[in-house]
Amino acid sequence: AQKITQTQPGMFVQEKEAVTLDCTYDTSDQSYGLFWYKQPSSGEMIFLIYQGSYDEQNATEGRYSLNFQKARKSANLVISASQLGDSAMYFCAMREGLGNQFYFGTGTSLTVIP
């Protein structure tokens, strides 16, 4: 089974609107961390936001927030007030416990339309 599933290969959003990128995960560990990364066309992976499995509140970082629904095993990324510079690939990732591996999804390509 896939550890991380991103079901939206591509998404479009109007500039200044909000958009939600979906991510579901699969783990039997009680302790895990969930991450979102942005990968522009230049190729570098940029860390956006982190959610720990024991965190009671949803993580927020500026215009990014993580809608964490533990029972559903989902960790959707919400980008508010989209900007043209947000156009990129977005990857959801998970680290189980103190494990060394990050498991990445297949990514969602976001295009912001002016």
Partner 1 sequence: GAGVSQTPSNKVTEKGKYVELRCDPISGHTALYWYRQSLGQGPEFLIYFQGTGAADDSGLPNDRFFAVRPEGSVSTLKIQRTERGDSAVYLCASSLGTSGSSYNEQFFGPGTRLTVL
Return residues touching partner 1 (CB under 8 A). 4, 31-33, 35, 37, 42-47, 50, 52-53, 91, 93, 95-98, 100-107
Shortest distance in whole angstroms from residue 38 CB to partner 1: 11
Shortest distance in whole angstroms from residue 68 CB to partner 1: 13
What letters, b where the CB count within 10 A reaches 16 and e where it falls short, cover 28-51?
Answer: eeeebbbbbbbeeeeeeeeebbeb
Closer CB to partner 1, 56 or 114, in the complex? 56
| Residue 20: count of CB within 10 angstroms of its CB | 14
HSE (side-chain half, CA atoms, 13 Å) at 107: 12
Shortest distance in whole angstroms from residue 91 CB to partner 1: 5
Closer CB to partner 1, 14 or 101, in the complex? 101
